[in-house]
Amino acid sequence: MAMAAADQVRSRARVLRRRGVGVVGLLVMVCVAGVVVAGVEVAGGVAVA
């Protein structure tokens, strides 16, 4: 699950880079992706527990 999300973020980052979005935009994307992945992992842990 996390790997699929990471791949999605990478492909999005590639598209954004082509459009000329700066490093700040990429950092924001990485932060958002980290929060989403953490939320998914927590939800998965709760479901397992």
What does the pLDDT look like over 5-14, one tens digit per residue?
A: 778 878 876 7
Q: Is the pTM of this model over 0.85?
A: no
As a whole number, mean pLDDT of residues 39-49 equals 79
Please report which confidence band the pLDDT of residue 35 belongs to, taking 50, 70 and 90 as the band edges. very high
- Mean pLDDT estimate for the chain: 78
CA pseudo-torsion sign 13, 15, 20, 25: negative
pLDDT at 42 over 70: yes
Q: Cα dist. 6→2, 49 in Å?
A: 6, 25
Which tops the pLDDT comparison, 46 or 48? Answer: 46
